[in-house]
Structure 1
Amino acid sequence: MAKATTNKLIEFLSEIPFFSEVSNESLKHLCIESEKASYLKNEVIVNKNEVGNSMYAIISGKVKVHDKKHIYGTLENGECFGEYALIDNETRSASVTAIEKTDVLIIGRQQFLDLMANDSGFAQGILSVMIKRHRELDTIQERLASSKQDIEIASNKMSGLINGAMDAIIMFNSDFRIILTNPSANTILQNDDVLQRNVLFFFDDDSANLIEDIVKSGIEDKSSINKYLPNIIKVIGSDNSETLNEGTISKYGSGSETFYTLILRNIEERLIAEDKINLLTKQTQYLEEEIKELTSSYGIIAENKAMKQALNLVQQVAKTDATVLIHGETGTGKELIARAIHKESKRNDKPLIRINCGAIPTNLIESELFGHKKGAFTGATVDRKGRFMLADKGTIFLDEIGEMPLELQPKLLRVIQEGEFDPVGSSETIKVDVRIITATHRDLLEFSKEGKFREDLYYRLNVFPIDVPVLRDRGNDLHLIAEEMLEQFSKKLNKPMIPLSEADKTLLSTYHWPGNVRELQNLIERAVIVSQNGEINWHAIIPNKAGTQEANFQNNKQRILTIKEFNALEKENILKALKHTKWKISGKNGAAELLQIPPTTLTSRIKALGIERPI
């Protein structure tokens, strides 16, 4: 239709009561889907007992509604007939014939139903009109007595539409008296007998005041109302149960016949979900701050030269997009290094996605990394985004890269070289912008020579290598880290902080720490848990017994003790002997005999080391 013609039809339809509550935008859609027709004088438009599938709106002319010679009434410009054919496929209850040349707009049932399903504004307008008509059934029954059955059927269908809605629908008049509710409304009101009760009694003060103000403002300026309620509506049921709802309010009618439709939707589950998300977000922020406050070096304590060198490399490479390969034994803190690189990079406002290549079954790792399409394999019931897609514009950290299956390595090489991949079961190529950081405890070059790792992939990953030193080679860092962990776990477990003595530090230094910082963390936590009376028995905590002692001796035989460490070790050994002999120094079974040194030498060492017998 031409634009001018469409505008005239919109204006025409807006004057028809059936469409009086429908917006112009929705009426425009209706005009586009409808068609015009002309009928000559005495030409039959609708035959009684004929199955109807359209509604007719009279643009010009005049028609009569009749059954043979009996005339029920006449209709003219701006009136319509056949509305019920829009919602049922029953036969016509009367015939309609043109009294003079008549132009009509024909609205098909399917077009109407499509608009009801897809245009919420159209549906709400029609719903308001139909509810009003529902209250005018008595009048319609008097005027069209022979159509009573058709009216009842149409009313039941509309009631089904209202009653089947999951949202609560409450209709009330200008006196705030409830005139209609659906089952969902009765549920939140906790009452099946609410008709003629004041609707405001079911809201808290704030919600009642809001609805009252909206209604009164509409009455005063006689304006239409069709708006989203700006605040959450708290409904208080008859049993004092409370629900939180969002909603809309609309007005129809005029003068003394003004009614309001309040539609409410329970949002408590959504609010609970939002609260959980907010809580998790705050917890994440708190944990990030806690890590930040631990030290000034990304959560890494470093006085050792080798560790400082590793952190210096982090600073150098972070601002670039170069691929980084972090090498170090298990538990040395490779992930902390990766997080430090991401934090100092220009991508730090985007996600850091971590995946342990050695912890995922071989048959699932490709899907985990690159995603899959629905039906790609058994169990793939929905599309899934892979970790590379989630890391787009950010960083991905591939831990234990040496465990990646050989057959999957070319796909990773393609991502590094081309920045693209194909999800499992898809022919679509996905482009991503991802910074790649990898880590391993293996010698990947040796692995590649053995045919267990692609050599070309190794060289692409090893653009910027960072070696993380083992804990046993970090000197005093071991004691600093241990003391920091002691303080943290003491606070967490609500136990007194027990500082390390020189003897404790010496004992820690003599252990090989095959599990590095992770093992230290586990042992410190265990030590704080089992501590009693302000003491920790480190001999019971640190596995320095039997074969372990021999292994530690072999691993530490090249290490030279400082005089401080040596004196602490000697002091601890003498104390053991004195406690064993109940502080008997000389004579048979005395500490001097146990230590195989002269009593005078032992007495001298006791004084020199400041050993005092406890009272």
Structure 2
Amino acid sequence: MMCKSKKQIPKLLFSGEAILKAMPEFAYVFNKQDELLMWSENLEAVLGYSADELYKKNVYDFMEESTRDINIEAIGKVFSDKEEQSLEQNILTKSGERIPVIDTANYALINGEEYMVGMAIDISNYLRKEIESRHGFEEIIGKCESLMHSLYRVEQVAETDTTVLLEGETGTGKELFARAIHKLSKRKNKTYVKVNCASLPATLIESELFGHEKGAFTGAIHKQIGRFELADGGTIFLDEIAELPIELQSKLLRVIQEGEFERLGSSKTIKVNIRIIAATNQNLEEQISKNLFRKDLYYRLNVYPISISPLRDRIADIPLLAQHFVEIFNRTMGKGIKRISKKTVQQLQKYSWPGNIRELENIIERAVIISNGSSLSVEPILKPGFEDDEKLLPLAEYERKYIIKILEKTYWRVDGPEGAARILDMHPETLRSRMRKLEIKRPSF
């Protein structure tokens, strides 16, 4: 239990300190002047405040403006009627995220001084389990408000055949959302086909998507079924849709509008019944202004957009994700790490994560490898400046810096088992394409 000054608070309040400190709930003590006097340590990690910052807070700093009047009334009753008050509401973190809680406060009179002693129980896991029990989002880890909103939008659209556009930075888990939509749809027992539009060579992408007949071009020694045909009856996920060559975008538009196309080298029209999910880490409206993306195709894809938040906007989820990856690597590496220290969590939460969840996974994997004992430490693998706040940098600069960092670690090797493409979970051609666009060049030595 943390406090302002033990001299300010009667000793009786400290009799249960060890118990309160160990509780998973958020415990707190306010005086009649609404000043926060004591709190459980987990409150710091969850709300994102340091102890020094919490010292300056009053009870209303953690409440939404819309619930302020209800809370004033409830707190008044605690002190005037000496009755327990309980509210289901959101508490606000430092970053502005809302955490749903059941907040219960009681009156305490100690040595003639009046206090409000309360406990807030985080119910976001309960709400999430409710959604999971109905729909199953087990692979998507987190409980922050923005994630829950995205999952709610998945829930709304999954059972329809509506085209979905997933928007989010590299490494935010767009494919997991695509798989979740397919899993929850009426097509769940049909084929799910993933296509990374950036990883296919420009000379072969049309053939890969639409198929070809024998002899359609040099090297076409046999007939090939395209990805759209393979996905007939099911779902096709078009990742990095902004990388689709503009000359092929009209053919994709026809598939969306008419559900038909022809293989290369054939005049026979093939009909397909597919659900299309597309994803991008780029601003498609900006691509349209540069004549790199068709406006009519954008309107067809953008019927139901779902935005996926970057990790820097999901600070409360970082401990959950880190623990999830620790458990995975414990199993694969035979390790026995049981906890992540408070200091480590704070370090991870201060970083801006340009590579998002994928970068966090890589950091945790390396930390598990070098950690001895039962506690995870990231100290040995964090360089000076790891915790710098870079939130004002443009997205492209985030991505550029992260790719350069990985390339430096691999001595600028792109391909191979120890190359940057594998670490970034990208096809080598995709990485080279991003390097060209971001003007990343190997330095001359």
Interval of TM-score (by shorter of Structure 1 and Structure 2)? 0.5 to 0.7
1:309 aligns with 2:309: no
Name the SS of the counterpart of 1:350 in structure 2: coil
TM-superposed CA distance for 1:303, in Å, is 1.0
| Aligned equivalent of 2:238 | 398
1:369 aligns with 2:209: yes
Name the SS of the counterpart of 2:300 in structure 1: helix
Query: Structure 2: which amino acid aligns with 1:309?
Result: H
| Aligned equivalent of 2:162 | 322
Instruction: Identify unmatched segments of 5+ residues in structure 1.
Output: 1-291, 558-615
Residue deviations 1:399-435 (CA, integer Å, cap 9, x gap): 0000000000000000000000011111111000010
TM-superposed CA distance for 1:387, in Å, is 0.4
Residue deviations 1:552-596 (CA, integer Å, cap 9, x gap): 224289xxxxxxxxxxxxxxxxxxxxxxxxxxxxxxxxxxxxxxx
| Aligned equivalent of 1:164 | none
How many Å separate the matches in 1 of 2:151 and 2:391?
27
How many Å separate the matches in 2 of 1:533 and 1:307?
33
1:449 aligns with 2:289: yes
How many Å separate the matches in 2 of 1:484 and 1:399?
25
How many Å separate the matches in 1 of 2:239 and 2:138?
18
How many Å separate the matches in 1 of 2:168 and 2:308?
5
TM-superposed CA distance for 1:451, in Å, is 0.4
| Aligned equivalent of 1:435 | 275
Name the SS of the counterpart of 1:553 in structure 2: coil
| Aligned equivalent of 2:366 | 526
How many Å separate the matches in 2 of 1:364 and 1:469?
33
Name the SS of the counterpart of 1:402 in structure 2: helix
C-alpha contact 2:326 2:337 (8 A) present in aligned 1: yes
Shift >6 Å, 4+ stretches: none
How many Å separate the matches in 1 of 2:191 and 2:321?
28
Q: Which moved more, 1:350-359 or 1:526-535?
A: 526-535
Query: Structure 1: which amino acid aligns with 2:389?
Result: F
How many Å separate the matches in 1 of 2:280 and 2:154?
17
Name the SS of the counterpart of 1:345 in structure 2: coil
Residue deviations 1:440-491 (CA, integer Å, cap 9, x gap): 0000011111101000000000000000000111121111011111112111
1:335 aligns with 2:171: no
Query: Structure 2: which amino acid aligns with 1:553?
Result: D
How many Å separate the matches in 2 of 1:505 and 1:556?
23
How many Å separate the matches in 1 of 2:228 and 2:390?
45
In the superposition, the TM-score normalised over structure 1's length comes to 0.41
Residue deviations 1:214-269 (CA, integer Å, cap 9, x gap): xxxxxxxxxxxxxxxxxxxxxxxxxxxxxxxxxxxxxxxxxxxxxxxxxxxxxxxx
How many Å separate the matches in 1 of 2:330 and 2:178?
28
TM-superposed CA distance for 1:541, in Å, is 2.4
C-alpha contact 2:337 2:376 (8 A) present in aligned 1: no
| Aligned equivalent of 1:491 | 331
C-alpha contact 2:167 2:279 (8 A) present in aligned 1: yes
Q: Which has the larger radius of gyration?
A: 1
TM-superposed CA distance for 1:311, in Å, is 0.3
Cα separation, partners in 2 of 1:455 and 1:475, compared to 1, 3 Å: same
Residue deviations 1:515-568 (CA, integer Å, cap 9, x gap): 11111111111111121244444122234x24x55xx224289xxxxxxxxxxx
Aligned length: 261
| Aligned equivalent of 2:436 | none
How many Å separate the matches in 1 of 2:151 and 2:322?
20
Query: Structure 2: which amino acid aligns with 1:446?
Result: E
| Aligned equivalent of 1:505 | 345
CA RMSD of aligned residues (A): 1.9
C-alpha contact 2:238 2:277 (8 A) present in aligned 1: yes
The higher-RCO structure (CA 8 Å, 6+ apart) is 2
C-alpha contact 1:332 1:468 (8 A) present in aligned 2: yes
How many Å separate the matches in 2 of 1:472 and 1:508?
10
TM-superposed CA distance for 1:492, in Å, is 1.5
Name the SS of the counterpart of 1:476 in structure 2: helix
Pairing 1:142-157 to 2, within 5 Å after superposition? none
Equivalent of residue 348 in structure 1, options 165, 177, 188: 188
Query: Structure 2: which amino acid aligns with 1:467?
Result: S
Percent identity, aligned pairs only, is 52
| Aligned equivalent of 1:553 | 389
| Aligned equivalent of 2:252 | 412
| Aligned equivalent of 1:475 | 315
C-alpha contact 1:512 1:556 (8 A) present in aligned 2: no
How many Å separate the matches in 1 of 2:269 and 2:358?
40
How many Å separate the matches in 2 of 1:445 and 1:553?
28
